[in-house]
Amino acid sequence: MRFSLAPLALAMAVTPSLALSSEPLVVTTAGRTAQSLKQTTAAVTVLTRADLERIQATSVPEALQRVPGVQISPSGGAGSTTGIFLRGASSEQTLILVDGQRINSATLGSASLQHLNIDQVERIEVVRGPRSALYGSEAIGGVIQIFTRQGYYNQGLKPRVSFAGGTEGTWRRHIGLSGGDAKTRFDLSGSLNETQGIDFSENRNGRLSDHDAYRQQAYSASLAHQLNDDLEVGLNTQEQSGRLEYDNTFSATQEPYNRFEISASSLFANWRASDLLTTRLEIGHSEDRSRNLVKNSTSESVFNTYRDSASWLNTLTLNEQHSVLAGLDWQEDRIHSSNNYAKDQRINRAAFVQHRFNGEYFSTELGVRHDDNEHYGEQDSWNASTIIPLASTTQLVLGYNEGFRAPTFNDLYYPGSESPDLKPETSKNYEIQLRGEHWQTQWSATAFRNNVQELIEWAPIAPGSWTWKPSNVKDARLQGIELEAKRSIFGWNTRLAASFVDPRDRESGHTLQRRARRTLNLDVDRQIGLFSVGASWHASSMRFQNTSNTTESGGYGVVDLRGSWHMSDELRWDLKVTNLLDKHYTVVEGYEQPGTGALLGLTWTPPL
């Protein structure tokens, strides 16, 4: 599929503008401390609760698809295994956080984003590019942090109830209550989603022809209390659990399904020790539990990850120009599996420091982190960036960032494929970003080149062998350009995100599998009295399905429509039509993507 950005870019540049909604002023993921967007040296995209409700997102992957540099790779319909490629990096090379807690599996390396309930999300921050100097392992492609809903001080009580039904036997229910007074804030939330689903597999033989149902239940809770003007303590907790039916493409007679549980909890304390020093202490626990079963069979495959963590962050503000962030991280991973791993536990300790200078003519950021892991050894990661104001509304950002990914338990100790001498994957990233606001348009353009070394690849130990082993055999080059713009055009709020990425195996020259080289997402919305209408267009070029680049799936474009009616201050109706033109397309070879669907919902926010 071919498409051009020129007409869209021209329209956004020359069309008169009315109102433009602004992004949040403060983000926390890019620097592990509160910063304004203009202070961040990374390329950052933020999706707020208002954004999620406006686009009527039904899953976290669907929302992330709107971020430049992000590609989503689902293996079927709702709840199916979903890969994420951030700037061409793999799912295992992207760090996923929920309220500061890592949820990447210690066996697979990836995170089950498809199971995170979107109704319980307050906002999503996406930091593009390596961030291992602050976060350590997995942050090669970038960091995605999901924040669950929070109450606010002095907001009173605010209940919410929503219900929706749609095609493919889809039902969605959500109930929540948030509140806060001068000293305490809280949020409680519960959700239940069900769908009869679609037939995941393109193969129509035997049991592969049935629809694959999905059931997800979730809860979240947050609480914070100010003990005094300088000390706040609190907790966050959330859990997603359910059941997913899927197709085993190697057997048309089996009816496999998966039972999953994903949870993350943390306790924290924020203390302003003085006018110069603030400190945050946080302890957390997360779990990723997965059981693969087969109907009418005793077959069971278990892969469970248990993670305990602690972090201590200190921000020293020396003066208006100089500040230092210093911290310690501790993490213990444990696994339980139906397979007998040679080792099932490991501890990682880390220390990091980052200095920031804010000047009139330029700003700088310099940081280093040292990780010490009892299995793969020690790893140092650096970052150095500068911001140069070119005008009052334009900034030039230059950056060098390093990343690494530690081998997983599967990489090191999977029974029969043990490779305990594997090295971590490492990366060095160079990028230049130009960003600003002109003619009432918020925009950014970023060019990057990320050289990844010691890539871990699984391959048969001999031609035709069923035994596979991993090894550090590849180097990759991930380079590209990202464009992002927001503007109001004749009353239509418009958001454009486009990416051009070239992810290549440096030895063979082949494009890395399942990565499209061009993607585009356009959202347009307009408020007309009590009504709002909107549309989205997502386009992707072709992608290769194998490492030898001999099998490909074609490009595609998908159009969604949506509308809302604010029936009163308390009631809102939402209607969404997905894949309006019933486009048939494939992202992962052998698996179907949903055709035209519709969802009608009602949200009630009664006053108390």
Q: Which two structure tokens, joined as six digits, stand for 404?
A: 């690494």
Please give the average per-residue pLDDT across 330-359, as a whole number.
Answer: 96
Model confidence at 8: pLDDT above 60: no
Tokens 């890969």 belong to 83
Which helix (DSSP H) or strand (DSSP E) does residue 232 occupy? strand 231-245
Q: How confident is the model at residue 3 (pLDDT cuts 50, 70, 90)?
A: very low
Q: How confident is the model at residue 296 (pLDDT cuts 50, 70, 90)?
A: confident
Lowest mean pLDDT among 261-265, 513-517, 589-593, 596-600: 589-593
Model confidence at 389: pLDDT above 80: yes
Lowest mean pLDDT among 6-20, 130-144, 592-606: 6-20
pLDDT score for 301: 94
Percent helix, strand and coil across the chain, each to the nearest 5? 10, 60, 35
Contact 398, 388 (CB under 8 A): yes
pLDDT score for 201: 78
Neighbour-count burial of 607, counting CB atoms closer than 10 A to its CB (0-12 exposed, 13-18 middle, 19+ buried): exposed
- Span between the terminal Cα atoms of the chain, in Å: 52
Render pLDDT for 21-63 as a digit per residue (tens, 0 to 9): 444 479 999 999 999 988 999 999 999 999 999 999 999 999 9
Residues with Cβ within 8 Å of residue 392, at least 6 apart in sequence = none
Lowest mean pLDDT among 111-120, 244-253, 334-343, 414-423: 244-253
**Percent share of the chain, pLDDT over 90:** 85
Q: How confident is the model at residue 208 (pLDDT cuts 50, 70, 90)?
A: low
Neighbour-count burial of 422, counting CB atoms closer than 10 A to its CB (0-12 exposed, 13-18 middle, 19+ buried): buried
Model confidence at 1: pLDDT above 50: no
Better-scored residue on pLDDT, 297 or 164: 164
Render pLDDT for 278-288 as a digit per residue (tens, 0 to 9): 999 999 999 99
pLDDT score for 254: 77
Mean pLDDT across the chain: 92
The letter for the amino acid at 109 is G
Model confidence at 298: pLDDT above 90: no
pLDDT score for 163: 98
Strands (E) across 490-590 are located at 492-505, 518-528, 531-540, 543-544, 552-553, 556-565, 571-578
DSSP-assigned states of every residue in 108-177 = T-S--GGGS-GGGEEEEEEEES--HHHH-TTTTSEEEEEEEP---TT-EEEEEEEEEEETTTEEEEEEEE
Please give the average per-residue pLDDT across 90-112, as a whole number.
Answer: 96
The letter for the amino acid at 528 is I
Model confidence at 445: pLDDT above 90: yes
What's the pTM?
Answer: 0.94
Please give the average per-residue pLDDT across 565-577, as a whole number.
Answer: 97
Tokens 């889809």 belong to 170
pLDDT score for 206: 61
What Å distances lie between residue 501 and 2, 406, 585, CA to CA?
15, 24, 21
Lowest mean pLDDT among 194-203, 330-339, 532-541, 592-601: 194-203
Model confidence at 112: pLDDT above 70: yes
Q: How confident is the model at residue 15 (pLDDT cuts 50, 70, 90)?
A: very low
Better-scored residue on pLDDT, 553 or 10: 553
Model confidence at 68: pLDDT above 80: yes
Q: How confident is the model at residue 14 (pLDDT cuts 50, 70, 90)?
A: very low
Q: How confident is the model at residue 251 (pLDDT cuts 50, 70, 90)?
A: low
Tokens 């070394």 belong to 453
Domains detected in the chain: 6-540+551-604 (2.40.170.20)
Model confidence at 473: pLDDT above 70: yes
Rounded CA-CA distance 88/125 in Å is 18
Measure CA 542 to chain center: 23
Model confidence at 250: pLDDT above 80: no
Which of 571, 572, 575, 579 has the alpha carbon at shortest distance from 597? Answer: 579
The letter for the amino acid at 449 is R
DSSP state of 104: -
Beta bridge partner(s), residue 71: 85
Contact 304, 292 (CB under 8 A): no
The letter for the amino acid at 294 is V
Contact 114, 59 (CB under 8 A): yes
Neighbour-count burial of 453, counting CB atoms closer than 10 A to its CB (0-12 exposed, 13-18 middle, 19+ buried): middle
Model confidence at 91: pLDDT above 80: yes
DSSP-assigned states of every residue in 174-221 = EEEEEEE-SSEEEEEEEEEEEE-----BS--SGGGGS---EEEEEEEE
DSSP-assigned states of every residue in 268-329 = EEEEE-SSSEEEEEEEEEEEEEEEEEETTS--EEEEEEEEEEEEEEEEEE-SSSEEEEEEEE
Model confidence at 2: pLDDT above 70: no
pLDDT score for 222: 98
Phi, psi torsion values for 231, nearest 5 degrees: -130, 125
Model confidence at 253: pLDDT above 90: no
pLDDT score for 465: 79
pLDDT score for 207: 64
Contact 602, 571 (CB under 8 A): yes
**Percent share of the chain, pLDDT over 70:** 94
